[in-house]
């Protein structure tokens, strides 16, 4: 929500007032990503006001980021660093739709001698002000981030990537409607060992790595998972048609992952898997928007960028 | 039982035909299957993978005091059953609560929300929307879960985690006055305010709804304009609110 101009009883640094001379406070969302069970925001602060910088370093003030999701009644405050990027992790199951981000600098304690050389002395002279704990010292306009965390996920989103330091090989779980572990309900969960997950996270989040590589990662992880998922749904349809009621114990239909895949297949004209001649792999590639083609092309582009190999001269 | 939710199409149809279906809501005969068959919808609700214990909500009387006591008990029953199974993301889905009102808890909704003329505000009580107001105090069932979620005190899980909920439902107006404010999305702030109210109620021997409304509506809102309440602890907020309400009581003893 954009901060509106408010009349404060003390000088506040923001874009609406002239309380401060030649000073600035703003934030930048350097990156936001969606990994496993959390949303990760990388926030960078820009503060140009030596007086307030000193207050923060002395512990009299602190920089905070308030994140609000009106839809899920989520409202929480995170402390931000002054000199480096702050990482904020928000559990995905607490938010949806749109996040409001608002950064502020607030008094960390009661402070009776709030008087900075950067004040606009035409307004305030050398008047010191009292600050109570929590009083706003600076704020910025605010940012909105739209999420695609919805109950029915787009295709890549029905597969969650998680980490378990206790395992040494990859594990995959396809939730059934009877799933009781709350970490595994509703989705396909690929659990990676520590080392692989660390590299996966870097490939997803680091600027110098992630551009042009997302489709390749989907091809490596998501495509095989969706291929196997379609196989399981085909089997379930077969069992439903050929086994008597009560004897079929497999039950994927009703989970978010199964319903989302079946809906995507219907959008491609596949209403009945048992009648469809395409293979599981072909169907998975289709509903992932030809991820095979994209990932081969992306890989080629990356290799061309990195390597010094030139194309052979046709004349030679 | 598996929690159910309406399909989007089913919700839209029901909303559109609310007036035409009005009498059906009061009938003992099930009508949804026939209605949806008529409008051409084969499947109007789905079962989610969330399994919860069956809950029997209570309704023991129509006077205000009894309604508040029943609401408190129902919050405890429903939130306890759904607490570790439902997250805010799922609980913000109007399709879930609308289905529960229409199918699972229909009788309770009709009894609890019957007005003096025998009618129920069907649009408000049976349906939920994505708006906070609808989820936290208008929809008959989602208000129970959200009241539990915003007031259940984990820090007192072994003694009385419902102490704030008890204050919330000490009078019907308190829930609305508190949840009307955007700061009530922060559970720390809710804890501070309800703790302050409880102290004032105990000192004054009455519900103090008017001074609580004034505290939330004007004082805390204005305070929150120059100060970021979210950076204060529950105890600090309790002190601020308590001192303000105590001053109001002194200047205006009859509340």
Which parts of chain A are beta strand (E)?
24-35, 38-48, 61-69, 74-80, 86-91, 98-107, 111-114, 129-131, 136-139, 143-146, 159-163, 171-174, 188-192
Q: Are residues A159 and A299 in the same domain?
A: yes
Contact criterion met (CB < 8 Å) for B232 and A133: yes
Q: Are residues A73 and A165 in the same domain?
A: no
**Mean per-residue pLDDT of chain B:** 92
Q: Is residue A282 part of a domain?
A: yes
Contact criterion met (CB < 8 Å) for B84 and A134: no
Q: CA-nearest residue of chain A to B94?
A: A71
Assess A71–B contact: CB distance below 8 Å, yes or no: yes
Q: Are residues A139 and A168 in the same domain?
A: no
Q: Is residue A6 part of a domain?
A: no
Q: Are residues A132 and A166 in the same domain?
A: no
Contact criterion met (CB < 8 Å) for A64 and B91: no
Instruction: Out of A146, A180, A197, pick the residue that ends a domain.
Output: A146
Residue with tokens 């006001």: A49
Q: A134, A140, A148, A251: best mutation site toward chain B, by most B Cβ within 10 Å?
A: A134
Q: Are residues A224 and A283 in the same domain?
A: yes
Q: Are residues A179 and A301 in the same domain?
A: yes
**pTM exceeds 0.80:** no
Q: Are residues A28 and A120 in the same domain?
A: yes
Assess B6–A contact: CB distance below 8 Å, yes or no: no
Give the pLDDT score at A183. 63
Instruction: Out of A146, A166, A199, pick the residue that ends a domain.
Output: A146
ipTM of the complex: 0.86
Q: Are residues A297 and A225 in the same domain?
A: yes
Domain encompassing residue A115: 24-146
At B170-187, the pLDDT tens digits run 998 999 999 989 899 999
Q: How many folded domains does chain A comprise?
A: 2
DSSP secondary structure letters along B133-198 = HIIIIISTTHHHHHHHHHH--GGGTTS-TTHHHHHHTTSHHHHHHHHTSGGGGSHHHHHHHHHHHH
Q: Are residues A258 and A131 in the same domain?
A: no
Provide the β-strand partners of residue A79.
A64
Assess B135–A contact: CB distance below 8 Å, yes or no: yes
Q: Are residues A127 and A231 in the same domain?
A: no
Looking at the predicted structure, is the pLDDT value of residue B133 above 70? yes
Give the pLDDT score at A312. 45
> Average pLDDT for consecutive 10-residue bins of chain A (316 residues)?
62 87 89 78 93 97 94 92 93 85 95 94 86 94 67 56 86 83 75 86 61 76 93 86 63 83 84 88 88 81 63 42
Distance of CA B173 to the CA centre of its chain: 12
Distance of CA B84 to the CA centre of its chain: 18
Q: Is residue A16 part of a domain?
A: no
Q: Are residues A247 and A295 in the same domain?
A: yes
Q: Is residue A5 part of a domain?
A: no
- Under 8 Å between Cβ of A155 and B27: no
Give the pLDDT score at A15. 79
User: What's the mean pLDDT in B130-148?
Assistant: 93
Instruction: Out of A99, A119, A146, pick the residue that ends a domain.
Output: A146
CATH number of the domain encompassing residue A122: 2.60.40
Q: Is residue A11 part of a domain?
A: no
User: What's the mean pLDDT in B106-125?
Assistant: 94
User: Strands A38-48, A24-35: parallel, antiparallel or unpaired by DSSP?
Assistant: antiparallel
Contact criterion met (CB < 8 Å) for B92 and A71: yes
Radius of gyration of chain B (CA): 20
Q: Are residues A141 and A112 in the same domain?
A: yes
Assess B150–A contact: CB distance below 8 Å, yes or no: yes
At A88-113, the pLDDT tens digits run 999 888 888 788 889 999 999 999 99
Give the pLDDT score at B254. 57
């Amino acid at each position: 929500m954009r901060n509106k101009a408010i009349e404060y009883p003390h000088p506040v640094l923001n874009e609406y007032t002239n309380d401060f001379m030649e000073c600035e406070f703003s934030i930048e969302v350097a990156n936001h990503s969606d990994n496993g069970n959390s949303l990760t925001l990388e926030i960078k602060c820009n503060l140009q006001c030596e007086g307030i910088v000193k207050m923060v370093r002395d512990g009299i003030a602190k920089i905070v980021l308030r994140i609000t999701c009106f839809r899920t009644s989520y409202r929480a405050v995170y402390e931000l660093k002054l000199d480096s990027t702050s990482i904020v992790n928000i559990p995905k199951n607490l938010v949806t739709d749109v996040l409001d981000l608002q950064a502020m600098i607030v008094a960390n304690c009661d402070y009776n001698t709030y008087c900075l050389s950067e004040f606009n002395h035409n307004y305030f002279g050398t008047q010191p002000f009292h600050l109570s704990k929590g009083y706003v010292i600076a704020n910025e306009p605010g940012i909105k981030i739209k999420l695609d965390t919805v109950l029915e996920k787009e295709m890549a989103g029905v597969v969650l990537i998680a980490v378990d330091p206790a395992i040494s090989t990859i594990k995959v779980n396809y939730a059934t409607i009877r799933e009781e572990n709350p970490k595994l309900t509703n989705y396909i969960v690929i659990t990676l060992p520590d080392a692989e997950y660390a590299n996966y996270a870097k490939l997803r989040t680091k600027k110098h790595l992630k551009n042009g590589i997302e489709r390749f990662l989907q091809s490596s992880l998501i495509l095989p998972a969706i291929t196997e998922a379609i196989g399981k749904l085909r089997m379930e349809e077969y069992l439903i048609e050929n086994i008597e009621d009560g004897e079929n114990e497999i039950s994927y239909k009703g989970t978010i992952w199964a319903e989302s895949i079946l809906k995507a297949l219907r959008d491609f004209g596949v209403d009945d898997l048992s009648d469809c001649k395409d293979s599981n792999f072909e169907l998975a590639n289709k509903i992932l928007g030809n991820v095979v083609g994209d990932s081969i092309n992306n890989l080629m582009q990356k290799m061309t960028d990195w390597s010094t190999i030139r194309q052979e001269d046709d004349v030679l | 039982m598996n929690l159910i939710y309406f399909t989007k199409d089913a919700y839209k149809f029901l909303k559109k035909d609310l007036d035409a279906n009005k009498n059906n809501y009061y009938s003992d005969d099930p009508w949804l299957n026939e209605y949806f068959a008529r409008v051409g919808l084969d499947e109007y609700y789905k079962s989610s993978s969330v399994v919860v214990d069956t809950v029997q909500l209570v309704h023991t009387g129509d006077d205000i005091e009894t309604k508040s006591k029943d609401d408190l008990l129902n919050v405890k029953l429903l939130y306890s059953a759904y607490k570790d199974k439902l997250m805010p993301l799922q609980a913000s889905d109007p399709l879930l609560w609308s289905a529960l009102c229409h199918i699972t808890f229909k009788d309770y909704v009709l009894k609890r929300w019957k007005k003096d003329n025998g009618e129920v505000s069907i649009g408000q009580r049976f349906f939920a929307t994505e708006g906070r107001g609808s989820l936290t105090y208008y929809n008959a069932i989602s208000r129970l879960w959200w009241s539990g979620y915003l007031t259940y005190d984990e820090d007192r899980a072994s003694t009385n985690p419902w102490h704030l909920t008890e204050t919330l439902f000490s009078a019907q107006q308190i829930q609305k006055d508190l949840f009307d404010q955007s700061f009530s999305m922060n559970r720390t702030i809710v804890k501070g305010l309800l703790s302050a109210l409880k102290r004032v109620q105990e000192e004054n021997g009455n519900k103090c709804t008017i001074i609580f409304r004034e505290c939330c509506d004007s004082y805390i809102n204005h305070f929150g304009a120059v100060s970021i309440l979210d950076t204060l602890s529950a105890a600090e907020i309790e002190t601020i609110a308590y001192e303000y309400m105590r001053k109001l009581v002194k200047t205006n003893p009859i509340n």
